[in-house]
Structure 1
Amino acid sequence: MLDLDPEFLDKYADLAAVPDRRGALPEKVRHFIRLAVAANSTHLYLPPVRGHIRRALDAGATPQELMEVLECCATLGIHAMNIGVPILVEVLEEAGVRSGASELTEYQERLKAEFTANRGYWHSFWDEILELAPEFFDAYTEFSSVPWKTGTLEPKVKEFIYIAFDTAATHLYTSGLRLHLQNAVGYGATAEELIEVMEIASTLGIHGLLEAAPILQEESGGRDERA
């Protein structure tokens, strides 16, 4: 990038440094956000992961905190159910197989209460998953609650992690983004902190250039040599 277009690299460096100059988030939390953007399953851009982990440790993060960031990222897979189950319900109702929601059993009511206690919220997009797949929802509640029951990050920071990968261009899960923004505000997050999370996530586009620029340089250099 420096060889091919130093001005562009300079402008990117200025863009990426805005959150660092403003500093609404602690330094280690900014590295948590960068790690969440790179290491979540819809992007999984591995080259910078080691650097983000190293710089977070240098800024005072513990291995437990960083593991918790990765554990929060691992919950992204549930969005297949959040998106898929409502569509399944529509299909079943169109086919006349389903006529409406069933009354929750005692087991399902207990699961709803446990999720609300462990995760600190309930949202209507869980209703149909709880109804149609209670055993899966039970297992997911236990899986997703680990950072909330044994973790060391404060609740709003965990919400920042969810916000980071929900708002990232490779995912754009808007219903989850709205929910986690609301949760973060409820935990005391400021507008400045939340904007900073999204500013960090918005630099994801440079990863394509980091991969493609060396190829461009290699190919164009080869042509020069052949000429």
Structure 2
Amino acid sequence: MTTTSADNQRTESEDNAASVDTAAVNPHKSEPGDNEQDLRGRRRLSGPRQWFAGLTQLTNRAATIAAVILALLLSAAVTTALVLSHNIFEHEATEQAARVARESAQTSIPAVLSYDFNSIDTEFAKAGGYLTGSFRDDFAKLASGVIIPAAHRDSIITKATVSESSVVSATADRVVLLVFLNQETTSSAYQGQRLDGSRIRVGMASVDGQWLISEITPL
């Protein structure tokens, strides 16, 4: 009986020592319930983190799209401004061309269509300076072949004046005018002075900064 009691005491002592050793090795060992609480806590924390991460990506994407749209709008605005500026410049250039060409026609048309048989040779030589292109050559042929001989033969003196003119069409370097003329003519072929009215279509072309006649067509 004594031996058994001693053995039982040794066994209890060893068990207590083992318990102490286990506690010393794993002093923070958690219970099963603690693991579940930690997992739920991590899940609660991961939800907002994912939400904020998604929000950040969405914000970055929206900022990129907004930047692209802004760049496109700026490009369109610049293009529109350039087009409008070009159109305004063209419009102003056309208006100026029409005005200057019309003013030039007031002087050049009477100089070309007026003549005196006493000085027609020199007058028509000067008149060529108001003309340009193929019309200059055509007019020279008409003058030498028809107008000058008839003027000498019939002692013709004619004076042309522009009574009115209007712009038919215009660009920066070409203007077409409708011109109303009055012509006073004396000739040995008939008695007294004759007054004629007529309409002509006149083409004006810009050549080296001067507006010259490129066409005269009776209407």
Higher relative strand content:
2
TM range (shorter): under 0.3
Q: Which is higher, the Rg of structure 1 or of structure 2?
A: 2
Length-normalised TM-score, structure 1 = 0.20
